[in-house]
Amino acid sequence: MKARTSAVALVLVGISVALVRAQAQQPQSIPNPIQSGFGQGAYAPGSGVSDPALIKEVRPEYTPSALQAGVQGLVELEAIVLANGVIGDVRVTKSLDTLHGLDAQAVAAAKKWLFRPGGINGVAVPVLVTLILEFRPARGEAPDPTRPPAPATPAMRPGGRVSDPKLLKEMRPNYTEAAMRQKIEGLVELQAVVGVDGSVAEVRVTKSLDNTFGLDQSAIEAARQWKFEPGTFEGKPVPVLVTLILEFRLKK
In the chain, % of residues over pLDDT 90: 42
Domain boundaries, the chain: 1-16+155-252, 18-150
**Range with the poorest average pLDDT among 51-65, 166-180, 210-224:** 51-65
Residue-averaged pLDDT of the chain: 80
Q: Which of 251, 110, 237 is nearest to 180 (CA)?
A: 251
Predicted local confidence at residue 73, as pLDDT = 86
18-150 and 1-16+155-252 share a CATH fold: yes
pLDDT of 173 above 50: yes
Count CA atoms within 13 Å of residue 15 on its CB side.
20
Can you tell me the mean pLDDT for 212-238? 91
Count CA atoms within 13 Å of residue 245 on its CB side.
11
Predicted local confidence at residue 197, as pLDDT = 92
User: Please, which residues bridge with residue 77 across strands?
Assistant: 92, 131
Backbone φ and ψ of 64, nearest 5°: -55, -40
Architecture of domain 1-16+155-252: 2-Layer Sandwich (3.30)
Can you tell me the mean pLDDT for 37-63? 87
pLDDT of 100 above 80: yes
Tell me if residue 40 falls in helix, strand or coil.
Answer: coil
CATH number for the domain whose boundaries are 18-150: 3.30.2420.10
pLDDT of 21 above 60: no
Which secondary structure element, helix H or strand E, spans residue 73, and what is its range?
Answer: strand 73-81
pTM: predicted TM-score of the whole model, two decimal places: 0.47
pLDDT digits (tens, 9 = 90+) for 104-121: 999 999 999 999 999 998
Predicted local confidence at residue 201, as pLDDT = 81
Contacts of residue 37, Cβ cutoff 8 Å, sequence gap at least 6: none
* Cα separation, 14 vs 243, whole angstroms: 7
Q: Which of 34, 128, 45 is nearest to 81 (CA)?
A: 128
* Cα separation, 28 vs 101, whole angstroms: 42
